[in-house]
Amino acid sequence: MTPLRILIADDHPLFREGVAGLLGGHEGTVVAGQADTGQAALDLARSLEPDLVLLDLSMPDGGLWALREIKRLDPPPVVAMLTVSEEDDDVFKALQAGADGYILKGIGGRDLLAAIEDLAAGRSYVSPGLAMKVLQAMRGGASKPAREDPLDSLTAREEEILRLVARGSSNKEVGLALDLQEKTVKHYMTIILQKLQVRNRTEAALIAHGRWPEG
């Protein structure tokens, strides 16, 4: 199996090199490059074409700026924020800008590798404890007038697919469970994202958890 090529972008050398040492010592991953600014992360993402980028939120040129620019690449890599910030606004802005995951720096090495494997498989990842806060931010808080739940617009098949995605299933796993081709699942997911008015499967899964806590 070909190792996952990862670009690490963080302006703290000690932390960056520690993550690089962890990933470099794991047979399923290889460090394609390291960057210490948002611009350097974009330049390396463009030239190295990594499979996944771990991107710090607070660094020169800005992590959010780098995220938006990297996600404009064709094809874009998977991008996960790896940061200390637990602020609702930071999490929400990152997901809106296209982040596939949001990982807090307090994560252990084994859990980080597991999160990376999930992301590489097409699943989303948000650090435990942040999901409900993000869901509340997405819905704008309880003070706003109630509006029609977008989940009500889903067909039975779309709901079935979204429930599996909310449980952490990749498109391939959804296809196997429902006897659908992976490209068909991708087509359904595009429609689901449009109906829910979200940008990625992470946000869709959070909305689903709000309606179906048990998945």
Domain regions of the chain by residue span? 4-135, 148-211
pLDDT tens string, the chain, 215 residues long: the values are: 789 999 999 999 999 999 999 999 888 999 999 999 999 999 999 999 999 999 999 899 889 999 999 999 988 999 999 999 888 788 888 888 889 999 999 889 999 999 999 898 888 888 877 766 666 655 555 444 445 677 888 888 889 999 999 888 899 999 999 998 888 898 888 888 888 888 888 888 888 887 776 65
Kindly state the tokens that stand for 142. 């309880």
Tokens found for residue 106: 């307090």
What is the torsional sign of CA 23, 206, 81, 40? positive
Report the pLDDT value the prediction gives residue 144, as an integer from 0 to 100: 44
For the beta sheet containing 52-55, the strands, ordered from the edge strand earlier in sequence to the opposite edge, are 29-35, 4-9, 52-55, 78-83, 101-104, 125-126
Q: How far is the C-alpha of 95 from the C-alpha of 109, rounded, in Å?
A: 23
Alpha-carbon distance of 166 to 207, in angstroms, equals 9
pLDDT of residue 33: 97
d(CA 152, CA 203): 16
Q: Is 95 exposed, middle or buried (0-12, 13-18, 19+ CB in 10 A)?
A: buried
CATH class of 148-211: mainly alpha
**Residue 132, pLDDT score:** 65
Other beta carbons within 10 Å of 169: 22
* CA distances (Å), origin 77, targets 53, 187, 202: 7, 20, 16
Instruction: Match 């595009």 to its residue by tokens.
Output: 190
Say if residues 109 and 137 touch (Cβ distance below 8 Å): no
CA 157, CA 161: separation in Å to the nearest integer? 6
pLDDT score recorded for residue 143: 43
Task: From 156, 154, 167, select the one nearest 198 (Cα to Cα).
Answer: 154
pLDDT of residue 139: 55
pTM, 2 dp: 0.67
CATH match for 4-135 among 3.40.50.2000, 3.90.25.10, 3.40.50.2300, 3.40.50.970:
3.40.50.2300
Nearest alpha-carbon partner for 162 in 193, 137, 120: 193
